[in-house]
Amino acid sequence: MVRETYKGYVLWGHAIAQQADILTPERYAGGGTVTRDHKLISASGVLDLFNSEDDAQQAGLAWARAWVDTHG
């Protein structure tokens, strides 16, 4: 999980390991969360599956920034 402060909000990018079976490569479900003053404002749910943990986390942060830009 990665954290970023953006326009007064605290944003989180999440990566959750996903593996269909033992013979498939591990992938990561990405998601984002927006908080303010230690309260949940919005959460994305699963955005997509990614090949790396970092890509999943960055997609979550990008979603959270876009949420703040349109709703914040």
Percent of the chain with pLDDT strictly greater than 70: 100
Among 18-22, 30-34, 55-59, 64-68, the minimum mean pLDDT is found in 18-22
User: CA torsion, points 60, 10, 40, 26, in degrees to nearest 10?
Assistant: 30
State pLDDT tens for residues 30-50: 999 999 999 999 999 999 999
Domains and CATH numbers, the chain: 2-71 (3.30.160)
What pTM was estimated for this model as a whole? 0.91
Residue 26 in this model has a pLDDT that exceeds 90: no
Residue 56, H or E segment: helix 53-71
Encoding tokens for residue 13? 């990018």
